Structure 1
Amino acid sequence: MKDNHGRTIDYLRVSLTDRCNLRCIYCMPAEGIAQVPHDEILRYNEIVELVEAAAQLGIKRVRLTGGEPLVRKGVVDLVRDICAIPGIKDVSLTTNGILLGRMAEDLRAAGLGRVNISLDTLDEETYRRVTRGGNIHQVLEGIDAALRVGFNPVKVNAVAVRSMNQDYFAFARMSVDRPLHMRFIEYMPVGDSAGSCGSGWGPEDVVSVDEIRESINAAAIDAGMEPLRPVEDSSKPEGGGPARYWEFPGAKGTVGFISPLSRHFCGDCNRLRLTSTGGIRPCLFSDEEYNVRDAVRYGTKDDVRSVLMQALGAKPEEHHEGDHARATEKNMNAIGG
């Protein structure tokens, strides 16, 4: 499945819900959000039908997101159903990790292959403040459980924010003794992240991946370690994303860098996004959506495929210069990341 710019589109990110069990300051206000009525949320059978249609068009990878996907009841059964769809080769999930410790084994048995765990700080008090009450020990238990049940790869994603004073080296060092793949993501001011959500973060909080890597290497040398070196392509962790990978010599895992702003990867974009309310988004940085919920709920399989192809045809060549500095109408919990 090719878009108008010759890129192969084989990856679908599926948001299961806009709900979450955290209230992260960059994602939603302290009081939470006005929840979308259940009738507007895609039912599981509708999601399966949509993924079947997408697979017929060439989608091979599916990532389940939220909100927090593990708060939605029945997610293990949904994973099993999606894994059974002909043409789907890889099903993964992005989670904040709070519920992963208790669900990892069932998810793995259902066919889930990979997990990405969001963790922006290793400091217990900072984590509690940024998530408005979250318990970092539950996330660390989730990481341990993911490794124990055999998810491969297990990736930990940290959004780099200058005013959070994160210890990048402590994160990177997690990749040495265990097969963890630590990824740093440049902060993207998307949605009302500097407004009513209360983070207070802005463009000045963007930290480039080059600066992060330099900081890690300086700390590594101070600790008597060799600096990061590029990973050979053949040993990169599996995935359909845009990270560039590095490693400490002899480490079991890797350190990845995702640079949507300083070195954007639009030319390699391979994805469409399905929101929990049934909108297909061709680009994260655009509010343009195509309503596929009505097609799957009231139309035919041909109608569903037609909407998917419309969205495919609308994928821009790249997000326009400066788009990252403007607010999209929806916050990340509604888009699905």
Structure 2
Amino acid sequence: MIELADRFGRVATDLRVSLTDRCNLRCTYCMPEEGLGWLPREEQLTDDEVGRLVRIGVTLLGVTQVRFTGGEPLLRRGLIGIVRDAASLSPRPRLMVTTNGIGLERLAGPLREAGLDRINVSLDTLDAKRFRALTRRDRLSDVLRGLEAAAAAGLTPLKINTVLMRGINEDEAPELLRFALAHGYQLRFIEQMPLDAQHQWDRHTMVTADEIVAALEPFALQPDPVSRGTAPAETWLVPGFVDAAGQPARVGVIGSVTRPFCGDCDRTRLTADGQIRNCLFATEESDLRTLLRTGASDDEIATAWQIAMRGKRAGHGIDDPSFLQPARPMSAIGG
């Protein structure tokens, strides 16, 4: 087995697969109210093509963890079958989905039965009016029911991803943590990143990791003695609380901008149209879809994937004056 190694000794074992660029929300920090120009169906990978690339990643390139993302992955009609096929691989990868939670009430059970191990749900506010303003949709109750269904189905540990925005929802950090603790969920705050379709991100208005931790001061957080390894979140223990598994409760902060973890990155990304990205902020992609559709062998595709990873930069370079925001927004890359 060959590795997806770069020039700096990092080895990618975590594959993020975007199943669609479509979404049923219109979050203000992600896309405009009218949406975006979606990929034509013929340019998207078919279910079989997704399955083949996941199989190549797992059996030939050492991928041990696969996360299905979007857009909104629950909109992919073939999602259950894609998960089932991935769960049948040997060695079996750990399988996860990152979703906005809409549709999860219906799909949590079938996803678990298909072999999904865990789920992340994006939730930026517990206030219905604020949710409507942020997402331009009145769907908070659907998300909350989806969380409950995922927990009941055993898709745990269930993690909530929250982006705090200055003057919009930054005051909710304590309430969101209390909500997560009460339900046994694991909360992860994420610094807002320059991946919006409108290219309006401004570092000076971003709520930083330091500010997030300061907002949680009433909880008397304690440093987590467990090493985070290659995980993106720095975690803290929340004294007096346990999670759904009876373990000490934790809260995490993903400081992608102010506390970059590029040196420990173990991720490789596949877009819905079959492009390999070696970094979330990469400005170049490598085309595997054409190889798939012109008769390339598994070994030839694996070699092309390996070559793509060798070009990975040492870091995302957000603080570099020459930094350029990727042309694709987050919804078209996959989280």
Alignment of 1:81-230 (within 5 A): 81-166=85-170, 167-195=172-200, 201-217=201-217, 220=218, 226-230=219-223
Give me the whole-angstrom Cα distance separating, in 1, the residues matched to 2:299 and 2:138: 44
Give me the whole-angstrom Cα distance separating, in 1, the residues matched to 2:211 and 2:179: 19
What residue is the counterpart of 1:21 in the other structure? 24
3-state SS of 1:249 partner: strand
Amino acid of the residue matched to residue 181 of structure 1? Q
Normalising by structure 2, report the TM-score: 0.91
Q: Is the 8 A contact 1:116 1:156 kept in 2?
A: yes
CA deviation after TM superposition for structure 1 residue 211, in Å: 1.1
CA deviation after TM superposition for structure 1 residue 143, in Å: 0.9
- The verdict on how the C-alpha distance between 1:274 and 1:134 changes in structure 2, with shifts beyond 3 A counting, is farther
3-state SS of 2:108 partner: helix
Alignment of 1:1-337 (within 5 A): 1=3, 2-55=5-58, 56-166=60-170, 167-195=172-200, 201-217=201-217, 220=218, 226-233=219-226, 241-252=231-242, 253-298=249-294, 299-322=296-319, 326-337=324-335
Per-residue CA deviation, residues 41-83 of structure 1 (Å, 9 max, x unaligned), is 0011111111111111111100000000001112111100011
- The verdict on how the C-alpha distance between 1:263 and 1:176 changes in structure 2, with shifts beyond 3 A counting, is same
Give me the whole-angstrom Cα distance separating, in 1, the residues matched to 2:73 and 2:328: 18
Amino acid of the residue matched to residue 312 of structure 1? M
Give me the whole-angstrom Cα distance separating, in 1, the residues matched to 2:317 and 2:98: 27
Cα RMSD (Å) of the superposition?
1.8
CA deviation after TM superposition for structure 1 residue 321, in Å: 4.4
3-state SS of 1:47 partner: helix
CA deviation after TM superposition for structure 1 residue 282, in Å: 0.5
Q: Is the 8 A contact 2:257 2:318 kept in 1?
A: no
3-state SS of 1:190 partner: coil
Normalising by structure 1, report the TM-score: 0.91
Per-residue CA deviation, residues 9-33 of structure 1 (Å, 9 max, x unaligned), is 1010000001111111122221111
3-state SS of 2:167 partner: helix
Give me the whole-angstrom Cα distance separating, in 1, the residues matched to 2:74 and 2:112: 13
Q: Is the 8 A contact 1:18 1:67 kept in 2?
A: yes
Give me the whole-angstrom Cα distance separating, in 2, the residues matched to 1:165 and 1:254: 21
Q: Is the 8 A contact 2:29 2:196 kept in 1?
A: no
CA deviation after TM superposition for structure 1 residue 327, in Å: 2.7
- The verdict on how the C-alpha distance between 1:334 and 1:323 changes in structure 2, with shifts beyond 3 A counting, is farther
Q: Is the 8 A contact 1:191 1:328 kept in 2?
A: no
Q: Is the 8 A contact 1:175 1:255 kept in 2?
A: no
CA deviation after TM superposition for structure 1 residue 194, in Å: 4.2
Give me the whole-angstrom Cα distance separating, in 1, the residues matched to 2:186 and 2:237: 9
CA deviation after TM superposition for structure 1 residue 306, in Å: 1.7
CA deviation after TM superposition for structure 1 residue 164, in Å: 1.3
Q: Is the 8 A contact 1:159 1:184 kept in 2?
A: yes
4+ long deviations beyond 3 Å: 191-195, 323-326
CA deviation after TM superposition for structure 1 residue 240, in Å: 6.2
Give me the whole-angstrom Cα distance separating, in 2, the residues matched to 1:321 and 1:283: 12
3-state SS of 1:256 partner: strand
Q: Is the 8 A contact 1:189 1:326 kept in 2?
A: no
Q: Is the 8 A contact 1:42 1:293 kept in 2?
A: yes
Q: Percent identity?
A: 41
Give me the whole-angstrom Cα distance separating, in 2, the residues matched to 1:170 and 1:326: 35
CA deviation after TM superposition for structure 1 residue 108, in Å: 0.6
Q: Is the 8 A contact 2:159 2:185 kept in 1?
A: yes
Q: Is the 8 A contact 2:276 2:305 kept in 1?
A: yes
- The verdict on how the C-alpha distance between 1:193 and 1:251 changes in structure 2, with shifts beyond 3 A counting, is farther
CA deviation after TM superposition for structure 1 residue 175, in Å: 3.4
Structure 2 unaligned blocks of 5 or more = 243-248
Q: Is the 8 A contact 1:175 1:254 kept in 2?
A: no
3-state SS of 1:103 partner: helix
